[in-house]
Amino acid sequence: MQLNNPLLDDLSKMAAGAAASLMDVKREVAAAVAAQADKFLDKHNYVSKEAFEAVQAMAAKAREENEELKKRVDALESRLQALASK
């Protein structure tokens, strides 16, 4: 943006440069924080949210399957007792 005042023009250019520099710093800080978080999680044997959710879903499915199997086993045991009592 060109202004009629050279001082304001220079200040505008400096502000744009400072904003670009701040965005670069923000990206570098975000990358450093992410790297430190990964090191922390690895060091303390924590798992990622995605891995936790995957295992949680598998556990829920296994519980459902166990409930179905328990019903089948109970039904078979009832039939076995009925046959044994004859």
Tens of pLDDT, residues 20-76? 899 999 999 999 999 998 888 888 888 888 999 999 999 999 999 999 999 999 999
Rg (CA), the chain: 32
The per-residue pLDDT for 43 is 87
Q: How far apart are CA 28 and CA 12, in angstroms?
A: 25
The per-residue pLDDT for 9 is 81
Every domain of the chain and the residues it spans: 1-46, 47-86
- DSSP-based three-state secondary structure for 34: helix
